[in-house]
Amino acid sequence: MKKQQRINYPASKKIYIKGKIHDIQVGMRSVTLLDTITMENGKKQVEPNNPVILYDTSGAYSNPDIPIDITKGLVRLRQEWIEKRNDTELLPSFSSNYCKERLSDSSLNKIRFPLTNLPRKAKSGNAITQMYYACQGIITPEMEYVAIRENQQNEQLGIETHITPEFVRQEIASGKAIIPANINHPEAEPMIIGTNFLVKINTNIGNSSLMSGIDEEVEKAIWSCKWGGDTLMDLSTGEHIHETREWIIRNTPVPVGTVPLYQTLEKLNGRITDLNWEIYRDTLIEQCEQGVDYFTIHAGLLRSHLPLLKNRTTGIVSRGGSIIANWMTQHQKENLFYTHFEDICLLLKQYDVAVSLGDGLRPGCIADANDAGQFAELSVLGELTKIAWKHHVQVLIEGPGHVPMHKIRPNMDEQLKHCHGAPFYTLGPLTTDIAPGYDHITSAIGAAQIARYGTAMICYVTPKEHLSLPDKEDVRTGVIAYKIAAHAADLAKGHPGAQVRDNALSKARFDFRWKDQFNLSLDPEKALEYYRTGRLGDESGHCTMCGPHFCAMKLTKEMNDCALTE
């Protein structure tokens, strides 16, 4: 790996908030602000501004006191918590055939992550999931962690909040929220996905067979965390998937998801016909033991749905969906993920891997939105949810795709109707098809709205969607577009404390505290860069847009005393 990775946020320090139930420390970012300075009757008045405490996805990378070494991986934050529960055991070796094969292949040594942590698994096959504990009435350290994390500075500011550790437990127990937390990914900081919590965003990375390598993927993972990605899906389809993923998981402080089918097909050199339960199961075990936190599984697309697609404009646009549809067609058999769904749950519950029920029939264009195929599959996803919950496997429901604005609410309502409150996790949706090159925007418009109506996590779309694979700048742009959508939804939902940051930034704007404005923004570097392109003179007193004469905020200040007290 080429370099030390570090994340610096301006005027920010890492702070840790202690738990009250458990011996935990929740990392947050505290942004220090300048004083507000006003003149009153010729006298300078100084009013200090409290620091703003922000939700922080950057983990140890933004703490200069913690040494970072990519070849060693992050500190295993949750290891002690997991051990203390005493319901799991370290295995003597990896269980999947594939992992054994890769470990014994010495030609891979030069690209392999250099440390091997043996995998952990439930003792005697029991569920050891957060949902299981929640149903037992147990508040885990993970649950307290997310409760603190979600509250930002509410306690300090006296903002009332419903989000207590006990509330978290109830939400997890009911299936309305999940904490993706594979016991083999103890490096990840707990986070919660549910409609009654902050809206989360997922970013996708992945080396397709055409482009990019391990270095770049790890760098992208950290980059995504820097800008605020809450979870990360590794959608690699190229060579060395196994090794790349190991590097990513060991160095990523957020939950990691995958679509295990992709790797399974790599193992089969792309021969869909050869797909079978045994090789898929081996892949699930391989990834469970590596530490993947959630799996997208396209178990809801049934043979009976295929005729519903006859009149679609863009057919199936989900890779996983199209693969399993082809397999079903070739073998004239029902979807093997559906028929083996209970087997899958029996496996996942032993590692606490959440299942993200894939929407293989998500609409790929406006014309196909909310059609019979999409909703038929959604209804099966609801059925599968019940099965997963029976095994205390945590569940996400995946959603579209391309949906015009007037069909967003009906789509959300359909999910609520069929899926028993399991959190919805959507890709966008894109609200028009006509803007390739700008689909981070077409989809942020849809994502903000569906999140407002209850979607718990939105999967980002980059400007390169439909066109090419995203590079680092595209990832940044996509993440920020989605942080905007998520935050706009948090505001609209009245999430406790969400508006604190807006208020602080706007006060800074009105005070001409430019640096505070930038430091509080989602992308301080970009804001500063744009600001500098327009600067000719000093750094205060008016903004570059209006020029010195007609700055509205300056004029407001000038008349403030006399006018507003009339």
Q: Which amino acid is at 130?
A: Q
Residue 367 or 416: the one with the smaller Cβ distance to a second copy is: 367
Q: Is 307 in the site for a second copy (CB under 8 A)?
A: yes
Q: Helix, strand or coil for residue 39? A: strand
**Complex with a second copy: residue 161 or 326, whichever CB lies closer:** 326
Q: Is 11 in the site for a second copy (CB under 8 A)?
A: no
Query: Site for a second copy (CB under 8 A): which residue of 319, 331, 420, 515?
Result: 319
Closest CA to 390 of 135, 179, 87: 135
- Looking only at the bridges linking them, the beta strands covering 88-90 and 120-122 are antiparallel
Between 19 and 315, name the residue whose CB sits nearer to a second copy.
315
Told to check if 39 binds a second copy by CB under 8 A, we report no
Phi, psi of 114 (to 5 degrees): -75, -15
Q: How far from chain centre, in Å, is Cα 469?
A: 19
The answer to the question of residue 323 lying near a second copy (CB under 8 A) is yes
Q: Which of 342, 413, 502, 539 binds a second copy (CB under 8 A)?
A: 502
* x/- letters, 520..549, toward a second copy (CB under 8 A): xxxx--xx-xxx-xxxx------xxxxxxx
Note whether 328 binds a second copy by CB under 8 A. Answer: yes
Closest CB 485 distance from a second copy, rounded Å: 7
User: What's the rounded Cα separation, in Å, for the pair 477 and 465?
Assistant: 12
Total residues contacting a second copy by CB under 8 A comes to 121
Can you tell me which of 273, 339, 503, 540 binds a second copy, judged by CB under 8 A? 503
Binding of a second copy at residue 559 (CB under 8 A)?
A: yes
Task: Tell me: does residue 208 bind a second copy (CB under 8 A).
Answer: yes
- Contacts of a second copy in 223-262 (CB under 8 A): 237-238, 262
Which residue in 306, 346, 387, 416 binds a second copy (CB under 8 A)? 306
**Does 309 help bind a second copy (rule: CB under 8 A)?**
yes
Between 9 and 94, name the residue whose CB sits nearer to a second copy.
Answer: 9
Contact pick of 47, 48, 494, 538 for a second copy (by CB under 8 A): 494
Q: How far apart are CA 564 and CA 444, in angstroms?
A: 38
Q: Contact between 565 and a second copy (CB under 8 A)? A: yes
Q: Pick the closer one to a second copy by CB: 163 or 444.
A: 444
Residue 88: strand pairing partners: 122
Q: Specify the stretch interacting with a second copy by CB under 8 A; choose among 17-25, 131-139, 179-187, 479-487.
A: 479-487
By the 8 A CB rule, do 531 and 556 touch? no
Q: Which of 120, 220, 483, 495 binds a second copy (CB under 8 A)?
A: 483
- Give the chain's end-to-end CA distance (angstroms, integer): 66
Answer for the pair 300, 360: CB distance below 8 angstroms, yes or no: yes
Largest CA distance in the chain: 86
State which of positions 349-408 bind a second copy (CB under 8 A): 364-367, 402, 404-406
CB of 510 to a second copy, least distance (A): 4
Tell me which DSSP letter residue 430 carries.
B
| Dist CA 362 CA 321 (whole Å) | 9
Task: Report whether 359 contacts 321 (CB < 8 A).
Answer: yes
Asked if 512 interacts with a second copy (CB under 8 A), we say: no
Q: From 68-76, 86-94, 184-192, 319-327, give the range in contact with a second copy by CB under 8 A.
A: 319-327
Contact string (CB under 8 A) for a second copy, positions 401-440, x = contact: -x-xxx------------------------xxxxxxxx-x
Q: Does 205 bind a second copy (CB under 8 A)?
A: no
Cα separation, 116 vs 94, in Å, equals 10
Our CB check for a second copy shows the closer of 167 and 438 to be 438
As a residue count, the chain comes to 566
Torsion angles phi and psi, residue 279, rounded to 5: -70, -35
Q: Which candidate, 304, 303, 236, 227, places its Cα nearest to that of 265?
A: 236
The number of angstroms, rounded, from the C-alpha of 187 to the middle of its chain's C-alpha atoms is 16
CB 39 within 8 A of CB 204: no
Q: Which of 126, 211, 239, 333 binds a second copy (CB under 8 A)?
A: 211
Minimum CB distance to a second copy, residue 336 (Å):
16
| Interatomic CA distance for residues 181 and 145, integer angstroms | 12
Measured CA to CA, the distance from residue 195 to residue 200 in angstroms comes to 10
Taking CB under 8 A as the binding criterion, the range among 114-122, 136-144, 187-195, 519-527 that sits at the site for a second copy is 519-527
SS3 call for 436: coil
Alpha helices in 197-254 (DSSP H): 214-227, 241-250
Q: Please say which residue, 39 or 210, places its beta carbon nearer to a second copy.
A: 210
